[in-house]
Structure 1
Amino acid sequence: MTSDHPAMTRRLLLRTAAVIGTLATARVLLSPDDDAPGPGPGPQTRARPPAAAPPDAHRLPPLAGETSRSGPGASPPHAGVAFTVPARAGRIALTFDDGPDPRYTPEILEVLRRHDTRATFFVVGECAVEFPDLLHFIAEEGHAVGNHTWTHPQLTTLPLGRVRAELGRTSALIEEVLGTAPAIARAPYGDWDQPSLDICNDLGMSPVGWSVDSRDWTCPGSETIAGTVLDELRPGAIVLSHDGGGDRVETVQALDRYLPQLLDKGFRPGRITP
């Protein structure tokens, strides 16, 4: 597939000087305290759930019994987890977690741009602080930016102070870089509990889950990923995919395969708003 990745790289370099002051401010605001996560490893060595978690728990199922409280004209926060969006006119939501990534995020943006499609990116703070210009590119192209914590931990295993730090630190960074705090958040592995939901609500964000898991994180091949999305897609669906956290070549290829097909079927992807 074609890509304007080199052009985007040049734009990234040009913008770097402009964001140095912003990042300096963000790092002061986000200096870890006794209860906040430390700088953490880089994007490729990001913390994962405890070793005791079963191997197939990389993506935990959405919490049973939670329903969406979002709707037209509503304002955040909404304490209930949204697993769908309003299904009118074939609306769906494509979402991408674990970025931004300097290779795969621009490639995904290029596919979305080519098909005039908007999506939602749930970003990890320790990745976003390394690549703030990618946050600008995401927002400038009309996509939504959501909070996916600072180091991608399983929130339900953490003390409440750490939960607040993971979410709050990431929101502060996004606000410093983009000028607006995120209104939505997704828990790593989709694993919310009532205390973490309360903290999300306190920080002014609405929690978001998903209804279609592309399972791109299992790297089953781009054709399989595309088939999963197309087979499970229904009006109102929120589709889970990833632009970071590993090798996402198959994700990019799958998106390029299934996006024109779902558009032909009458689905209309849009960004998630509370």
Structure 2
Amino acid sequence: MRPRTLLAFALGLVLLVTGCGDPGKNPGKAAAQPSASAAPASTPTPSPSPKPRPSRTTPPPKPKLRPVPKKLPAGLHRRSGSPGVALTFDDGPDPRYTPQILAQLRAARVTATFCVVGRQARRYPQLVAQIVREGHQLCNHSWHHDVDLGRRPLAEIRADLERTNRAIRAAAPGAPITWFRQPGGRWTAEELTVARQLGLRPLHWSVDPQDWDHPPAKTIIKRVESATHHGSVVLMHDAGGDRTQTMAACRHLIPDLKRRYGIVRLR
């Protein structure tokens, strides 16, 4: 072997033994490696997945109301059924005014018809019981005085009247409920059908002094006296707002109508 060749061989052997030729021992690569004491890279926190929204079902469309009748249907009771005058009081009972009307009727020794609202009957059952106990008639006047009741589906009309009957009977068990009066007088043929199916006779009126609009007592008296005849059915209110003027008017009207026509029960 030549001297140069021998020298090169010896140098390669030295490099191999010391590891300087191992790529894994390369100081540059080693420096690039992270040290054990280095803080680990922060891992991003995954954002919470959105909660699923509850499924919303679209409510069924409300049934359209039937149009308001242009005229009153046939078959409504607008007469007392005798030469005497029938007094009717709507929208009660009311603890402020119903006892006052009952006291005036008791003093005159006459009876009237009370068209009670179911919600009021449930709230003041003792007044319904007193009405019956003192010999007056009961009339179903719907659950909460829905003036559009007659324009609603037949099932809704029936449910309303039946609910009102239950409230009345809970307050006065066994008391007959003979009549039904539509709130506001906006009668429909469908309403008449349901009322008759429930054994209720449709009660309207022939004299309306519009005391629901709170006119003075003198105006109420004048309107009643000018429109009343033998057999009239007079509409007034013992609830549904301030009825102070109605109470004052009745103190004159009840004895006056009794003297002129007689006050009778509906037939």
The TM-score, its normalising length taken from structure 2, stands at 0.71
1:61-140 superposed matches below 5 A: 63-64=71-72, 66=74, 80-88=75-83, 91-140=84-133
Q: CA separation in 2, counterparts of 1:63 and 1:110?
A: 37
Counterpart of 1:123 in structure 2: which amino acid? V
Matched, 1:160 2:154: yes
Residue in structure 2 matching 1:202, options 177, 197, 200: 197
Aligned 1:124-273 pairs, distance under 5 A: 124-154=117-147, 155-178=149-172, 179-265=174-260, 267-273=261-267
Tell me if the contact between 1:242 and 1:248 (Cα under 8 Å) persists in the aligned partners.
yes
**Which one-letter code corresponds to 2:106 in the other structure?**
R
Alignment of 1:53-64 (within 5 A): 63-64=71-72
TM-aligned CA deviation for residue 61 of structure 1: 10
User: For the residues of structure 1 that align with 2:175 and 2:134, how far apart are their CA atoms?
Assistant: 16
Cα distance in 1 for partners of 2:73, 2:143 equals: 27
Q: Equivalents in 1 of 2:246, 2:70: separation in Å? A: 22
Are the equivalent residues in 1 in contact too, given 2:79–2:232 (CA < 8 A)? yes
Superposed CA offset, 1:187-229 (max 9, x none): 0011111111100011111100000002101111001101111
Deviation at 1:99, TM superposition (A): 0.3
Cα offset, 1:175, TM superposition: 2.1
Could you list the runs of 5+ residues in structure 2 that have no partner in the other structure? Answer: 1-64
Structure-2 separation of matches of 1:224 and 1:177: 35
* Distance (whole Å) between structure 1 residues aligned to residue 69 and residue 114 of structure 2: 20
- CA distance in structure 1 between the aligned counterparts of 2:244 and 2:71, rounded to whole angstroms: 30
Which is further off, 147-156 or 119-128?
147-156
Letter of the 1:239 partner, please give it.
V
Contact 1:61 1:190 in 2 (8 A): no
**Match of 2:198, as an amino acid?**
L
- The DSSP-based 3-state class of the residue aligned with 1:228 is helix
Whether the aligned pair in 2 keeps the contact of 1:62 and 1:209 (CA below 8 Å) is no
- In the aligned structure 2, how far is the partner of 1:169 from the partner of 1:63? 28
Q: For residues 171 and 93 of structure 2, what CA distance do their matches in structure 1 show? A: 13
Deviates more, 1:151-160 or 1:126-135: 151-160
Judged with a 3 Å threshold, the aligned counterparts in structure 2 of structure 1 residues 238 and 253 are, in CA distance, closer, same or farther, namely same
Cα distance in structure 2, aligned partners of 1:245 and 1:262: 24
Q: Deviations over 1:35-75 (max 9, x none)?
A: xxxxxxxxxxxxxxx9xx9xxxxxx9994462xxxxxxxxx
1:64 and 1:99 map into 2 onto residues whose CA distance is 24
Unaligned 5+ residue runs, structure 1? 1-49, 54-59, 67-79
Deviation at 1:157, TM superposition (A): 3.0
Amino acid across the alignment from 2:117? V
Partner of 2:41 in structure 1?
none
Bigger Rg, structure 1 or 2: 2
Query: Which segment is superposed worse, 227-236 or 151-160?
Result: 151-160
Q: Deviations over 1:167-196 (max 9, x none)?
A: 111112222322234111100011111111
**Which residue in the other structure is 1:70 paired with?**
none
Conserved? CA contact 1:62–1:210, under 8 Å: no
RMSD: 2.1
- SS of the residue 1:150 aligns to: coil
Taking the aligned partners of 1:62 and 1:229, their CA distance within structure 2 comes to: 26
TM-score when normalising by structure 1: 0.69
In structure 1, distance between residues paired with 2:72 and 2:121: 31
Rounded Cα–Cα distance in structure 2 between residues aligned with 1:126 and 1:148: 10
Partners of 2:167 and 2:265 in 1: how far apart? 21
